[in-house]
Amino acid sequence: MSSSFSHQLWRAFRGWWREQASANGAAGATSLLLQNLWTFVRESTPERRRRRYGDMDYDWENRVDTTSGTVGWRGRLMGLFLSPYQPTDPALFREMMASLPIEFDQFTFVDLGSGKGRTLLMASEYPFRRIVGVELLPALHQVAQENLAGYKSELQKCSALEAVCGDATDFALPAEPLVLYLFNPLPESGLTRVMAKLETSLKAHARAVYVLYHNPLLEQVLTRSAFLTKLGGTQQYSIYCFAKLKSDEHSWPINPGRAGSE
């Protein structure tokens, strides 16, 4: 086990333990840890691995590797303490894009926790100004780079794609109109830090920002925000946008642009 991975794993575990022990006590955290480790062992069997290849249709159609079936044990182990890798379903992604009331060519798409880059590739079918993905695990990031380099599609409308390897909580958000995509990529403490950075960024550069939260298990972090307004969503996702900061006299319009999809 490399020292870099060991450091990342220890950091992820330490943050996870603090949150779980604070919420459920040491005994509850220990019980959950044992359950998660047993799940990890069970999911490592050949039968369970074959099941993870159930998301391969997109890969076959586009000749890329975004399936969860090929994620190694290190990535799955990190997922116990951060968020397990799971690619976004294409049909659901199109539904989420259709729900955004924006002119796509005025926005930059940012995916925090971009994994192997499937969402970046799907976003390139819309005319965003540019598309950026941020992924913590080097192994997933490497696959994402290979996917972006080899991707070819007649549907592609944005070719300015970038994959960044780094911690989403440290990523400096671009000072331009954003669609911020989150597939539940962080524990509560990490998501809270990202929202704090977003607020600081908006105070410095007021602009239109939409947060598209897929699998919103920690939606309370967004709902208690002073600067975001919920526009809608379903059980599978929620949409928020920059509203008025309490200390400001002005804010960006909640619904700039048009409603629709490409």
Question: What's the pLDDT score for residue 68?
Answer: 72
Answer whether residue 255 shows pLDDT above 80.
no
Question: What's the pLDDT score for residue 252?
Answer: 45
Grouping H, G, I as helix, E, B as strand and the rest as coil, residue 125 is: coil
Helix, strand, coil percent values for the chain (each to nearest 5): 45, 15, 40
Q: How many Å apart are CA 153 and CA 231, to the nearest integer?
A: 32
Q: What is the percent of the chain where pLDDT is above 90? A: 54
Question: What's the pLDDT score for residue 47?
Answer: 67
Please provide the average confidence, as pLDDT, over all residues in the chain: 84
The two tokens of residue 186 are 């962080």
Q: Which amino acid is at 230?
A: K
Question: What's the pLDDT score for residue 172?
Answer: 95
Question: What's the pLDDT score for residue 250?
Answer: 44
Question: What's the pLDDT score for residue 53?
Answer: 56
More confident residue, 223 or 49: 223
Q: What is the pLDDT of residues 34-87, one digit of tens each?
A: 887 787 777 766 666 665 555 678 898 999 999 877 777 777 777 767 677 789
Question: What's the pLDDT score for residue 83?
Answer: 72
Q: How many Å apart are CA 140 and CA 63, to the nearest integer?
A: 17
Question: What's the pLDDT score for residue 98?
Answer: 96
Long-range contacts of 229-238, Cβ-Cβ distance < 8 Å, separation of 24 or more? 229/254, 231/101, 231/255, 232/99, 233/99, 236/92, 237/92, 237/96, 237/212, 237/213, 238/212, 238/213
Question: What's the pLDDT score for residue 40?
Answer: 74
Answer whether residue 182 shows pLDDT above 90.
yes
Q: What is the percent of the chain where pLDDT is above 70? A: 84
CA-based nearest residue to 111, from 56, 199, 179: 179
* Mean pLDDT in residue range 190-207: 94
Question: What's the pLDDT score for residue 254?
Answer: 44
Answer whether residue 257 shows pLDDT above 70.
no
Domains of the chain by range and CATH? 3-81 (no CATH), 90-242 (3.40.50.150)
The two tokens of residue 64 are 């890329």
Tell me the pairing of strands 228-233 and 237-242: antiparallel
Answer whether residue 151 shows pLDDT above 70.
yes
* Mean pLDDT in residue range 217-225: 93
Integer CA distances (angstroms), 223 to 111, 179, 219, in order: 20, 18, 6
pLDDT band of residue 251 (cuts 50, 70, 90) is: very low
pLDDT band of residue 136 (cuts 50, 70, 90) is: confident
Q: Which residues contact 114 (CB under 8 A, 6 or more apart)?
A: 120, 133, 134, 135, 144, 163
pTM value is 0.79
